[in-house]
Structure 1
Amino acid sequence: MDFFISPAYANAAASTGPGLLDFAFPVILLVLFYLMLIRPQSKRAKAHRAMQAALAKGDEIVTDGGIMGKILEINDNAMTVEIAESVVVKVRRESVSSVLPKGTLKKI
């Protein structure tokens, strides 16, 4: 079978073992993964938790479902939101995606 594939012989002098670059590449990948994905996501989550903790009566909000309204009453887990005149719904505190500037609902 040697006439189809020439035999390969290992060069004993060239096999020095794994180099520094073999270990550095996965470490560099992990650092990049942390800096580009994990750290920004944790910063966003921290800012979102702070926004939800700072909710107060009278704030104008948007829920995850896209419902816009004004907070009438707020408890630990739920809040009462007026979405139209005399239309009141109860939503969970965690479903708030953003707080609108004051007066936004009157402009819409």
Structure 2
Amino acid sequence: MSPEMLGTVGPIVVMIAIFYFLLYRPQKNQQKKRMSMLDSLKKGDKVVTIGGIYGTIEALSDKSLKLKIADRVVIEVARASINAVLTEETEAK
């Protein structure tokens, strides 16, 4: 490889490395955490949806779940719409 070619290809390789370590890799890790959280959902968990609805899981299926949001009020939401599982620590805040 000639020095002229290295001078043109070098910055491109550096940009690709920066893109990988600053954008792609952290996004993949975050996606794995989210999938793990969605797979570990169980009946009785207190959750919040992406839309901000708080509730308790009453029943689960592969694609959806039934969420109790008030006395005698149960709604069905897509499993992917769950944003977070609430613990006692997050509820105290």
Normalising by structure 1, we get a TM-score of 0.76
RMSD (Å), alpha carbons: 1.9
2:81 pairs with one of 71, 92, 95: 95
Normalising by structure 2, we get a TM-score of 0.88
Unaligned runs of 5+ in 2: none
Deviation sequence 1:18-47 (CA, Å, 0-9, x none): 242221110000000010001101110111
d(CA) in 1 for partners of 2:16 and 2:82?
A: 33
Deviation sequence 1:68-99 (CA, Å, 0-9, x none): 10001111111110011211100111110110
Aligned length, in residue pairs: 90
Query: After TM superposition, what 4+ stretches of structure 1 lie above 3 angstroms from structure 2?
Result: none
- Determine if the alignment matches structure 1 residue 48 to structure 2 residue 34: yes
Checking the alignment, whether the CA contact within 8 Å between 1:83 and 1:89 is kept in structure 2 is yes
1:68 pairs with one of 45, 50, 54: 54
Checking the alignment, whether the CA contact within 8 Å between 1:60 and 1:102 is kept in structure 2 is no
Q: Give 1 or 2: higher strand fraction.
A: 2
